[in-house]
């Protein structure tokens, strides 16, 4: 039974998530490593809620449908959603910084 570690990139389907698994492969001639990504559809057993960005372990299972041959084994890390206030304050702070620099340069 194979077990892979990946990041959920879509959790819009009921009972299923799309997990992106990255691996590194070395080019045989140039000896340079490059990243290869693959997407797997995995079944969610039980009634747990997963979000895009969560890091999970998926394990191989019997075919559950045409595309689903994996299931989520467990969650490794969870994405903490930012509140709307935090996002707006960060955006306004980033907008203020360039304006202050322009004023200093004009003097």
How far, in whole angstroms, is CA 34 from its chain's centroid? 19
Instruction: Note the pLDDT tens digit of each residue in 55-96.
Output: 999 999 999 999 999 999 999 998 877 666 666 677 677 776
Half-sphere exposure of 37 (CA within 13 A, CB side): 8
In a domain, 87, yes or no: no
Residue 93 has a CB neighbour count (10 Å cut-off) of 9
Element (H, E) at 91: helix 84-106
Domain that holds residue 62: 3-82
In a domain, 26, yes or no: yes
Q: Residue 103 above 70 pLDDT?
A: no
In a domain, 107, yes or no: no
In a domain, 97, yes or no: no
Q: Residue 105 above 80 pLDDT?
A: no
Coil/strand/helix, residue 88? helix
The total number of structural domains in the chain stands at 1
Please report, for the domain that includes residue 9, its CATH number.
2.40.50.140
Residue 45 has a CB neighbour count (10 Å cut-off) of 11
In a domain, 103, yes or no: no
């Amino acid at each position: 039974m194979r077990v892979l570690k990946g990041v959920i990139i879509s959790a819009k389907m009921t009972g299923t998530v799309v997990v992106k698994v990255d691996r590194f492969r070395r080019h045989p001639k140039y000896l340079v490593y490059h990243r290869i990504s693959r997407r797997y559809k995995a079944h969610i057993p039980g009634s747990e809620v997963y979000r895009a960005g969560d890091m999970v372990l998926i394990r191989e299972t019997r075919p559950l449908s045409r595309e689903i041959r994996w299931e989520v084994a467990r969650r490794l890390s969870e994405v903490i959603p930012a509140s709307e206030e935090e996002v707006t304050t960060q955006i306004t702070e980033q907008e203020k910084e360039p304006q202050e620099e322009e004023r200093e340069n004009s003097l």
